[in-house]
Structure 1
Amino acid sequence: MSKKYHFNLEANWSGGRDGAGKISSGKLQAPISAPAELGGPGTGTNPEELLLGAASTCYLITLGIVLTNRKLPVEDITLASECILDGEGGLKFEKIIHRPTIILGKDATEEDIETAKKGAERAESACMISKTLEGNVEVTVEPTITIQS
């Protein structure tokens, strides 16, 4: 028998495209609105940012786990992520690009750099959100690996 986990969210909304609302789920408390880029007021977060945030945080947490499991001398990990929407025929997520920067310790080897690159790719395929998006949204990884100076 599989174990099930439940997460809940409550939300309210007032108005149309120019309306606003709020969401509440555990530690997440945020105002919401349609983004200014899509004709909304841009006064709160929006579905585009939330999906990108879910994909990015899942990838980043998974990356940390993967690199730790590979026993790499990681000093720091940062992440810049981008989503691309296709507006033709109705709005649709087309692609998410994760650009992690992994800084390894001074004693890291070329083999460690290669292992970190492979780990960055592995984290994308192991990430729960990436698995959920598979077949609907392309998710790619463009890692940068450096050694601390």
Structure 2
Amino acid sequence: MSIQQSDVLYTAVATAHNGRDGRVATDDGRLDVVVNPPEELGGSGAGTNPEQLFAAGYSACFQGALGVVARGRNADLTGSTVTARVGLGKNDDGFGIIVEISATLPAVDAATARDLLEQAHQVCPYSKATRGDVTVTLV
């Protein structure tokens, strides 16, 4: 289900200069980073790269979705962390990404943790945006 422009609550704006080998900055000046391909892709690795930025955004968004789900079930997320691993590789169309979301939820049992992760994956906007195009594994 798509949203209409009138339903948008917030819009982030970032501009890239020189693609994967330059810099990316937000219009409000809060983020301004050098981007370089990692050494594994023939770059200098001197800056960050789009996959790291995607992983950072996805992990933060997923943690937020996990919080929403946990509050609805009165589950304790004290000490929890969410890590996103974003891989870039070749596929039939050129290149694609694969994601692994791993979470540590020390205040809940394993079955509850798994259920919370699966529910968060259904409500997380990043998960929704990638569904059907990106393989996402929950750990």
Q: Same fold (TM over 0.5)?
A: yes
- 1:129 equivalent in structure 2: 126
Structure 1 unmatched ranges of 5 or more? 143-149
Q: Which amino acid aligns with 2:22?
A: A
- Out of 3, 7, 11, which is 1:3 matched to? 7
**Whole-angstrom distance in 2 between the partners of 1:102 and 1:25:** 35
- 1:24 equivalent in structure 2: 26
**Whole-angstrom distance in 2 between the partners of 1:25 and 1:100:** 32
Q: Are 1:42 and 2:52 an aligned pair?
A: no
- 1:145 equivalent in structure 2: none
1:8/1:88 CA distance change after superposition, 3 Å:
closer
User: Residues 24 and 30 of structure 1 are in contact (CA less than 8 Å); yes or no, is this contact kept in structure 2?
Assistant: no
Following TM superposition, the consecutive aligned residue runs of length 4 or more in structure 1 with deviations greater than 4 angstroms are: none
Give the aligned CA root-mean-square deviation in angstroms: 2.4
**Whole-angstrom distance in 2 between the partners of 1:127 and 1:75:** 20
**Whole-angstrom distance in 2 between the partners of 1:124 and 1:65:** 11
TM-score, with structure 1 as normaliser:
0.74
Higher Rg: 1
Identical-pair percentage: 30
Give 1:80 deviation, angstroms: 2.6
Structure 2 unmatched ranges of 5 or more? none
How many residues matched? Answer: 132
- Out of 78, 82, 85, which is 1:82 matched to? 85
